[in-house]
């Protein structure tokens, strides 16, 4: 039992809580940047998947996004309505082949600049030293794990 002048010490550090706390900060900063482009983090992810696998089917996009085929259908319909993606096959009974339009590719390029701004803000040279170390550790931990596409 503690007295009035004694306070319990801080709880033990939890990597789970630390990652969740940091992810909320990152998502908020990225959401602000992407909002200026009328994008969300989820729509950016879907555009990135479509760009990474041109001609992907709805099922493939659902697997890559970790969501349902129905959710991907709805999201792609919205992206298509905005002129950002197209379905090359778009025939009843045939497999879809979703790809970015020129407008979608341009928006994705702008979104990548937004991500770079957030990276610089949160993890760059002028950022909090702890966040810089965490950012470097994350990049280092995944180096070689994620196949890199050649830059065009």
CB 85 within 8 A of CB 43: no
Q: Of the given ranges (14-18, 54-58, 83-87, 91-95), which has the lowest mean pLDDT? A: 91-95
Q: Please, what is the average pLDDT of the chain?
A: 88
54 pLDDT band (50/70/90 cuts)?
confident
pTM exceeding 0.85: no
The yes-or-no verdict on residue 20 having pLDDT over 80 is yes
Domains and CATH numbers, the chain: 17-137 (1.10.10.10)
Span 108-112, mean pLDDT?
A: 97
Residue whose token pair is 């009843």: 92
For residue 10, the model assigns a pLDDT of 80
Tens digits of residue pLDDT in 111-121: 999 999 999 99
Span 98-106, mean pLDDT?
A: 95
- Residues with Cβ < 8 Å from 100, sequence gap 6 or more? 47, 50, 51, 54, 84, 85, 108
The yes-or-no verdict on residue 38 having pLDDT over 70 is yes
Report the chain's C-alpha Rg in angstroms.
20
Closest CA to 79 of 52, 49, 115, 53: 49
């Amino acid at each position: 039992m503690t007295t009035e002048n004694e306070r319990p010490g801080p709880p033990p550090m939890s990597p789970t809580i630390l990652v969740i706390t940091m992810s909320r900060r990152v998502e908020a900063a990225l959401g602000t940047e992407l909002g200026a482009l009328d994008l969300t983090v989820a729509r950016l992810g879907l555009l990135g998947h479509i760009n990474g696998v041109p001609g992907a089917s709805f099922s493939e996009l659902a697997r890559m996004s970790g969501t349902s085929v129905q959710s991907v259908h709805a999201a792609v319909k919205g992206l298509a309505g905005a002129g950002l993606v197209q379905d090359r096959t778009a025939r009843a009974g045939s497999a879809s082949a979703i790809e970015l339009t020129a407008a979608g590719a341009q928006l994705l390029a702008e979104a990548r600049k937004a991500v770079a701004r957030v990276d610089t803000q949160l993890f760059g040279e002028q950022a909090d030293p702890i966040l810089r170390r965490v950012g470097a550790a994350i990049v280092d931990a995944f180096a070689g794990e994620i196949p890199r596409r050649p830059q065009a």
